[in-house]
């Protein structure tokens, strides 16, 4: 069974630009989560998508947004990039709500560097 | 509110010795607790979880964790550490009212020296 995949592996952008990160969940998983892992800050919850809808978001400004496609893959967009957006962005997937026993499975991450 | 705390930024242990990585939680209601490991430049890998039942949970790679309700702790343990266990370990609790929201600790770096 293929795991969660993310692309690109690395992304370098300049301040003010937009970044788009992509994630494909494990087959059969309908929930996708995005996390930001900045140096020294642990994992910060960004967004949760399920069945194409945004279900919850963390404490991040609106310039962090995304969507989930009919095939359950997801895209994270970061507009007006700032230097402090430099981080590892992790995507995870799981079965959807109701399956509260289900753990989240993580992808390898996209390293975003803003210069 | 739900949260977890990992009081140690770093744990150093010699190969062959037992290891413990500490985690305490704060949650209203019954907690669903998880441990993940992150190797350098890689995503998180699931190690084990506690949902209900036996307080001692066994997971991948010989790790186990003990749920202690009175001390609100969920410490990760291994009887004999390997150099290859060196990684970043995260404790997480699942939201009680929002099952799909995970709250992660700040992580503990485990260094196992030969």
- What is the mean predicted confidence (pLDDT) over B43-61? 91
Per-residue pLDDT, A97: 59
Per-residue pLDDT, B36: 95
Does the distance separating the beta carbons of A41 and B106 come in below 8 Å?
A: yes
Cis peptide upstream of residue A11 (ω within 30 degrees of 0) = no
Cα-based distances in Å from B31 to A42, A103, B34, B96, B99: 21, 14, 10, 7, 11
Per-residue pLDDT, B99: 60
Higher pLDDT, A102 or B108: B108
Residue B7 has pLDDT above 90, yes or no: yes
**DSSP conformation class of B79:** S
Determine phi and psi for B61, rounding to 5 degrees.
60, 25
Is residue B108 within 8 Å of B21, Cβ to Cβ? yes
Gap from A59 CA to chain B (nearest CA, Å): 13
Best probe of the A interface among B8, B44, B104, by most A CBs < 10 A, is: B44
Minimum Cα–Cα distance from A40: chain B residue: B106
C-alpha to C-alpha distance for B95 and B1, rounded to whole angstroms: 9
Is residue B29 within 8 Å of B16, Cβ to Cβ? no
Gap from A90 CA to chain B (nearest CA, Å): 7
Nearest CB to B104; choose among A42, A55, A108: A42
- What is the mean predicted confidence (pLDDT) over B9-20? 97
Does the distance separating the beta carbons of A45 and B43 come in below 8 Å?
A: no
Nearest CB to A103; choose among B43, B49, B105: B49
B32 touches A: beta carbon within 8 Å: yes
Residue A77 has pLDDT above 60, yes or no: yes
**Average per-residue pLDDT for chain A:** 91
Structure token pair of residue A79: 């507009």
Lowest pLDDT segment from A14-18, A101-105, B68-72:
A101-105
**What's the pLDDT band for A82 if we cut at 50, 70, 90?**
very high
Is residue A68 within 8 Å of A56, Cβ to Cβ? no
Instruction: Give per-residue pLDDT as tens, B73-99.
Output: 999 999 999 999 999 999 998 866 666
Residue A104 has pLDDT above 60, yes or no: yes
């Amino acid at each position: 069974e293929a795991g969660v995949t993310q692309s690109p592996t690395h992304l370098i952008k300049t301040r003010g630009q937009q970044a788009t990160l992509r994630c494909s969940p494990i087959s059969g998983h309908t929930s996708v989560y995005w996390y930001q892992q900045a140096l020294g800050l642990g994992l910060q919850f960004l967004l949760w998508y399920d069945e194409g809808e945004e279900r919850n978001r963390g404490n991040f400004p609106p310039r962090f947004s995304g969507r989930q496609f009919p095939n359950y893959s997801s895209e994270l967009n970061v507009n007006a990039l700032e230097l402090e957006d430099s981080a590892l962005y992790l995507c995870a997937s799981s079965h959807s709500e109701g399956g509260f026993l289900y753990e989240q499975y993580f992808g390898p991450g996209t390293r975003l560097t803003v210069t | 509110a739900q949260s977890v705390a990992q009081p140690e930024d770093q744990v150093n242990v010699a190969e062959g010795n037992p290891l413990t990585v500490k985690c305490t939680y704060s949650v209203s209601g019954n907690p669903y607790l998880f441990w993940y490991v992150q190797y350098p430049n890689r995503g998180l890998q699931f190690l084990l979880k506690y949902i209900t039942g036996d307080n001692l949970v066994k997971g991948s790679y010989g790790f186990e964790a003990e749920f202690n309700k009175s001390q609100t702790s969920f410490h990760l343990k291994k009887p004999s550490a390997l150099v290859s266990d060196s990684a970043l370990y995260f404790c997480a609790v699942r939201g009680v009212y929002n099952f799909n929201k995970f709250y992660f600790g700040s992580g503990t770096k485990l260094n196992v020296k030969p």
